[in-house]
Structure 1
């Protein structure tokens, strides 16, 4: 095992020496520091593009047919805004973030009127 570790160390040292020699000869057109900054800039760009803005929905729950909503920021797994009105007694309305599949299930139910949408404050 010690011999294998020594071989790995020699290979590592030779790789560093080659990189240093190549840098001295100008084979790297950009310095390693600039390469590192470019790498961090690319990583930041990818992370910022992938995160996106969270969906915002109106939120309220009432035991009547109306309510005064506030704004709710949806977690990523809730991809729709929903307004669900329960028509038969007991009456009630819910406006909130919801998964699109759950909202569409409400649309299929009798005595329920549901609106499903996927833009900010559309409910």
Structure 2
């Protein structure tokens, strides 16, 4: 009988521990859930801000040195165009240049082309 009582007391103690630990565990899980939701919201906000506004670049094509300055306009780049670029051509086409939206990969490929002077950048109107 005393063996049965000891077993019963152990079961009661285990239940008490379980009920005492359970609210703390629930609270911990709740805090983790809140932290996860805040993190997810912050990440979503960052993505929205990053991709929410399209890049704006100066657009201008001066086709020949004797044509004078071109009229520069600001163009809103399509989503796949992530870079503004200014490309200046070598002699005999000196002072001939192109300013526009580009893909970064294409801009960097042009930058290694011998003779071309290429500036690639990725903030609004940076290709002056």
Q: Same fold (TM over 0.5)?
A: yes
Q: Counterparts of 1:30-109 in structure 2 under 5 Å?
A: 49=48, 51-64=51-64, 66-91=69-94, 92-109=96-113
Larger Rg: 2
> How big is the shift at 1:89?
2.2
Q: CA RMSD in A?
A: 2.3
> How big is the shift at 1:62?
0.9
Matched residue pairs, number?
79
**TM value normalised by structure 2:** 0.54
> How big is the shift at 1:117?
0.2
Structure 1, gaps ≥5 residues long: 1-41
> How big is the shift at 1:81?
0.2
Structure number with higher helix proportion: 2
Instruction: Give yes or no for contact 1:67–1:93 (8 Å, CA) kept in 2.
Output: no
Structure 2, gaps ≥5 residues long: 1-40
CA–CA separation in structure 1 for the residues paired with 2:71 and 2:92: 20
